[in-house]
Structures are given as structure tokens and as C-alpha cells.
Amino acid sequence: MSPQVKSGNGKPDHLLALKGFTKSFGPVQALTDVDFEVDAGEVVALVGDNGAGKSTLIKAISGVQPPDSGQEYFEGTAVKVTDPNSAVRLGIATVFQDLALCDNLDVVANLYLGKEVVGNGGIPLPVINETTMEQHALELLDELSVTTLGSVRTEVGSLSGGQRQSVAISRSLLGEPKVVLLDEPTAALGVAQTAQVLSLIKRLRERGLGVVVISHNLEDVFEVADRIVVLRLGRREATFDVTKTTREEVVAAITGASAEIDFKKEGK
């Protein structure tokens, strides 16, 4: 895990930090006073049972569903993320589980969807610069060692699950974000495809990005994460250093068994 940078007042400044995030939907309390942080060059896994608040927290960070209360800090500065565009401008990219890819478009078109490079090339009306986009796409995929796609002119609909996930993650980097949020990036993937995605996550860390990964697969979590944050019933239940914990301890925190053990130890 990367060291924390100290600010002038001696307090650690995380790349991204949340304080007291609370979110409800009518009578349902989805998040309650949640603190969360990720540093540059660090992978933090966000785990918990269904309904624990993981996706709600990601949507709150990314501006899709802003919290009812709480404060967000980016590089030590208080910020307010009210919608996805403000998150992107800040440097936060999100890859949701549905990936939002267009199957009938090729890899280049999906990477640049909504961000097309335009150059008139001497023509009176602006036209999309396909050559520049293809060259930049090749360079980006090469930097990330995404080598299994074949031609970047292949339609995304014909790619495997792991390849599609790689395209979606690569697309998120076009805006040069500092934090990448990944929602279940290895869900429903085979062994080989999962290995490709996990390798890509490690390369994001090597590039100095802060990476947050939601996952139900603890084997994948222990493969790539530096820290594990457990949410339970909308609250932050526990935090683990991957090098100093076990799967059993994490599962106990997810299910609430660790709290029951502490309760019994106290003789209550």
C-alpha cells in the first residue's frame, strides 16, 4: 500500500476520502455514517453481502446517487459531487457491472463513444478523425498490455466477457482519471478471463491510480487488493490489511460473526 501524504496540519491526505456518508431511500437506510478512503497506487476491495450498501456507496462517490449527508474529499480538498459529470471532471471514473458497451460498434468506437476526436482535414464540415482515434486506442491498449482483442476494429459484441471488461476499463482511462471504481469486474467470467481482468487491475495500480473494486469473490480480492473494507447493513464493519488477515476473518466480518465473537468474549 502506498504511503499517505501528510498535509501541513499533520493529517493524512488520502487521494479520495469520505466522511459520514449517509443515504436512505424512503424508510430504507442504505448507508449510515460511512467513512471510506483510497490512496494513490492502492487497490481497495469493498465487500459485503447483498444489500450491505456497496453499490450505493459507489453510486454516491460517482455522483449517480449523491448522499443525503456527508463530506467528500479529493486530494485533501473538500468537494461536492452532485452528478456523474462532476465526478469525471474531478478525476473519478466508474465502470458499472453492465459495462454500457455498444455491441454493434467496434473497439475504437466504444472507447471514444461521446468523446470522438474531430478534425476537419481540409473539409468544410467537421468529421470524426478515425485515424487518430485508432492510433490512440492502440497506444492505450498497449500501455495496459491488453493484447487479446485482436483487431481494434472488431465489433465488441463478438468479444468474450473478459475482453469486454478490458474495453470498458480501458475506456474509463481516456479522461486520465486518478480514481477508478469497478463494480464486480470479474462477475460471471471464466478462469482465464478473470486472470486477464485482475492483471489489468494490477496495472492500474502500477500507473499510480487509486482503485476501488466491489467483489463477492474473495479469491479475486486477495489476489489484487491492498486493503479490504467490509460493509454490513449499510455501515463500515471492518477494515483489513490483506497481508495480515485471513479469508475466515473477512467472512466473519461480512456475516457479523466477528461481532458475535467479541460480544461473547466480553461476557455479555
Predicted confidence (pLDDT) per residue in 153-167, tens digit: 999 999 999 999 999
Q: Which three cell numbers stand for residue 184?
A: 464486480
Residue 166 pLDDT: 92
* Segments in the chain forming alpha helices (H): 54-61, 84-90, 107-111, 130-143, 161-172, 191-206, 218-224, 247-255, 257-265
pLDDT of residue 207 exceeding 50, the answer is yes
5-103+177-265 homologous superfamily: P-loop containing nucleotide triphosphate hydrolases (3.40.50.300)
* Strand-strand pairing, 92-95 and 179-183: parallel
Cα–Cα dist 20/189, whole Å: 34
Residue 14 pLDDT: 95
Cα–Cα dist 159/110, whole Å: 13
Arithmetic mean of pLDDT, 118-144 = 76
pLDDT of residue 3 exceeding 50, the answer is no
Residue 259 pLDDT: 56
Place of cell 487497490: 43
This prediction's pTM: 0.86
Give residue 268's pLDDT band: very low, low, confident or very high (50, 70, 90).
very low
The closest alpha carbon to 91, from 76, 75, 78, belongs to 75
- b/e per residue, 65-83, with b = 16+ CB within 10 A? bbbeebebbbbbeeeebee
Give residue 18's pLDDT band: very low, low, confident or very high (50, 70, 90).
very high
pLDDT tens track for 58-107: 999 999 999 999 999 999 999 999 999 999 999 999 999 888 899 999 99
Residue 150 pLDDT: 82
Span of 18-22, 48-52, 71-75, 97-101 with lowest mean pLDDT: 97-101
Residue 8 pLDDT: 40
The closest alpha carbon to 93, from 50, 62, 57, belongs to 62
pLDDT tens track for 160-187: 999 999 999 999 998 899 999 999 999 8
Domain boundaries, the chain: 5-103+177-265
The closest alpha carbon to 214, from 86, 30, 48, 83, belongs to 48
Q: Which three cell numbers stand for residue 256?
A: 457479523
Q: Which three cell numbers stand for residue 204?
A: 492500474
